[in-house]
Amino acid sequence: MFLLSVPLAPGGARAQVSPGPLAGAHQKLDGSLQCFKCHRAGSTMRERCLACHTEIAWLAERGRGLHAREAKGECAPCHPDHAGRDFAMIQWSEGAPEKFDHRRAGYALEGKHAALACRACHRPAFQVSAAAKLARRSDRARSWLGLEAACTSCHRDVHRGSLGADCLKCHDLRAWKPAPGFDHAKTSYPLTGRHTDLPCAKCHLAPQLQLAHDAQGRPVALYKPLPHAECSACHRDPHAKRLGPACARCHVVEDWKRLNVKTFDHDRTRYPLRGAHVPVPCEKCHDPVRAWGKKPRFDACAACHKDVHGGTATLAGKPADCAACHNVAAYRPSTYTVERHQTSSYPLAGKHRDVACAKCHPKKPPGVESAGLGSAGVPLRPLHDRCAACHADVHGTAFAKRADRGACETCHAVAGWAPSRVDVAAHRAYRFALDGAHGAAPCFACHTELKPGAPAKRPLDFAVRDQRCVDCHENPHGAQFAPRRDGGACEACHDVTVFAPAARFNHARDAGFKLEGTHARVACAKCHAKRKDTDGKVRTIWRPVPGKCESCHDKNPGPLGAFPPDASDRASLLAAHSTP
């Protein structure tokens, strides 16, 4: 090839002969008058090429693509022109596009991309970068430029931008699924428990999300934002909103049927737990196998608790629920009060009001058939027709022959066992009426078993076998009156009003010496002195007393004066002394 240069007149244009026809891509520039469109003084050919191929300049300025990485010099060594219409402007050093080492362009073909045909990616539909818009090529199907490295420049973003533009944060080039880079634990909702085994579509294609659909009518999965603050966002509320939306207060993700006992609030149910129910394990009331089926009844205690009284607990003749006498704080003590007892067939009065329940309603009392009392073994309706049904009769059979058969209430009251209601007037019904001074005597004076300090357990038969004075009182006279026909009975001289003076004794009638005259005024002790009796005790000697004057009187005048003191007394004395 020869280049012929022809000099022109000074100041005129210069012309040159073209070294050959241009390649087909530049054929519009062919001709000697078109040379200066590419060949211009004051600029290099690279500058002129990039001035026309602005897409290459755009890539080079941004360091992108093969031209930015390898083609930093003149363009002609790789893209020679003037070689004819059929000359290929692009020379593949590997021999063919399919053999091109894509790493040279700054984007290595890996995974699924490695097996793709070049034009599967390099096609007009994917030429979305600014470089493609700058290109002057009319046939975009033959261009290798205009692609972007972002996945969404070629692939549809199924997440619709909700997860960002960097697909490789979750996916790799080997396959779209699974997403090896995705870690649900780093999201705002880490998957735990049963959620870890769920297919993604269970949550992200759930019907309740009201998803959008693509052009083919397929639902588009929603990944973000996906409501997850409450379980009810995905799960049907079997409680019909009665317990609120916060399912996690009661349930755990490991198993829906396993409750979170630390945070479960039974107060939100129709049966808040109180008292002794609080520490009860759930399975005591709820079937651990079918716990989420029919809920247990709670309208009556008997729905859960066995009737420990065997049906004997009644009020007004009708079976009573446990709550009538007990509460959830504790089974004992009973809440059945004294006031409520007043409406029963045996109202509590007096001391009975203070008696502990178990005193009258003991557990499994001896002698009581407990077969029908239930497991509690407590008689709720003990016999109460007589005191002896509960109280031991401390009198034994002492009063069994009375008309009332020894009924306690004849002598005692419920206000207190002692003192007895037997007073002086009531004692008249017994064999010994309390007359005179006897009415002031304390009971234990006769009934020694009542003496203070007596043993607690002793018979109280109150039997007084003998009722003579000497049975209770000491005889101050000794045997002085034993020879009398009445054996010296006290009542012959004394009455029950007072021992002294002897109200029934008549000296003129009952003694052998009548008191007449001056003798009637003489003190008893003047004639009846004290001396030791035959038993050695000092006693007043009432008999025998000598009746002769000299036994008491001195012949000489004594302290009583002359004997006889006067004539008036003489007659009375003589009469007295003449008595046999």
Clarify whether residues 41 and 131 are in a common domain. Answer: yes
pLDDT for residue 210: 84
The amino acid occupying position 350 is G
Residue 481 backbone zone (phi > 0: left; psi -120 to 50: alpha; other: beta): alpha
Does some domain include residue 445?
yes
E strands in 333-402:
none
What one-character DSSP code corresponds to residue 524?
H
Query: Which among 355, 384, 413 is the end of a domain?
Result: 384
The pLDDT value given to residue 511: 87
Q: 131 and 55, same structural domain? A: yes
Cβ pair 381, 312 in contact under 8 A: yes
One domain for residues 395 and 378: no
- Whether 37 and 137 share a structural domain: yes
pLDDT on residue 172:
92
Q: How far apart are CA 231 and CA 235, in angstroms?
A: 6
Last-in-domain residue among 91, 124, 149: 149
366 shares a domain with 396: no
Which residues have CB under 8 Å from 451's CB, separation 6+?
444
Structure tokens at 196: 């870890």
Return the exposure string of 134-149: e unless at least 16 CB atoms fall within 10 Å of the residue's CB, then b: bbeeeeeeebbbbbbe
Residues 341 and 400 in one domain: no
Inter-residue contact 348 to 342 (CB < 8 Å): yes
pLDDT lower than 70: segments of the chain: 1-17, 290-293, 555-580
Burial of 434 (0-12, 13-18, 19+ CB in 10 A): buried
| Cβ–Cβ < 8 Å for 177, 116 | no
Instruction: Give me the residues paired with residue 15 across strands.
Output: 6
Q: Is 176 domain-assigned?
A: no
Which of these three, 91, 123, 149, is where a domain ends?
149
Domain boundaries, position 140:
16-149
375 shares its domain with 393? no
In a domain, 213, yes or no: no
Alpha-carbon gap, residue 179 to 509, rounded angstroms: 144
Angstrom distance (rounded) from CA 223 to CA 241? 27
Evaluate whether 381 touches 446 at the Cβ level (below 8 Å): no
Integer CA distances (angstroms), 304 to 135, 197, 244, 310, 489, in order = 86, 39, 27, 15, 81
CA-to-CA dists, residue 28 to 20, 43, 578, angstroms: 14, 22, 206
Cα 534 off chain centre by: 90
Mutual angle of helices 54-61 and 45-52, in 10-degree steps: 100
3-state DSSP call for residue 555?
coil
Whether 309 and 419 map to the same domain: the answer is no
Query: In terms of C-beta density within 10 A (0-12 exposed, 13-18 middle, 19 or more buried), how is residue 569 classed?
Result: middle
Q: How many angstroms separate the Cα of 181 from the Cα of each of 5, 108, 161, 166, 434?
A: 66, 19, 17, 11, 115
pLDDT score recorded for residue 121: 94
Of 62, 63, 39, which Cα lies nearest the Cα of 51?
A: 39
> Residues in the chain, how many?
580
Residue 120 lies in a domain: yes
Asked if residue 506 belongs to a domain, the reply is yes
Residues 30 and 119 reside in one and the same domain: yes
pTM, 2 dp: 0.51
Query: Nearest-5° angle of CA 213, CA 215, CA 216?
Result: 85
- Alpha-carbon distance values, 121 to 115, 142, 149, 273, 491 (Å): 11, 12, 11, 68, 150
Classify residue 256 as exposed, middle or buried by CB count within 10 Å of its CB (0-12, 13-18, 19+).
middle
Residue 263 in domain: no
Give the chain's domain count.
4
Q: Name residue 255's beta-bridge partners.
A: 252
Report the pLDDT value the prediction gives residue 43, as an integer from 0 to 100: 85
Q: How far is CA 132 from CA 67, 144, 233, in A?
A: 15, 9, 46
307 vs 313: CA distance, rounded Å: 9
Q: Give the span between the Cα atoms of 135 and 140, in whole angstroms.
A: 9
State both tokens at 483. Answer: 């020879």
Is there a cis peptide before residue 501, judged by omega within 30 degrees of 0?
yes
The answer to whether the beta carbons of residues 85 and 27 sit under 8 Å apart is: yes
Instruction: Give the HSE-up count for residue 2: Cα atoms under 13 Å, Cβ half-sphere.
Output: 3
Structure tokens at 50: 């990039």
Question: Do 338 and 375 reside in the same domain of the chain?
Answer: yes
Query: How far apart are alpha carbons 279 and 267 in whole angstroms?
Result: 14
Domain shared by 59 and 34, yes or no:
yes
Going by DSSP bridges, is the β-strand pair 530-532/538-540 parallel, antiparallel, or unpaired? antiparallel
Q: Is residue 447 part of a domain?
A: yes
Domain presence at residue 196: no
Map residue 90 onto helix, strand or coil: coil
346 plus 460 within the same structural domain: no
Contact call for residues 173 and 108 (beta carbons, < 8 A): no
Q: Where are the alpha helices (DSSP H) in 381-453?
A: 424-427, 443-446
pLDDT of residue 398: 86
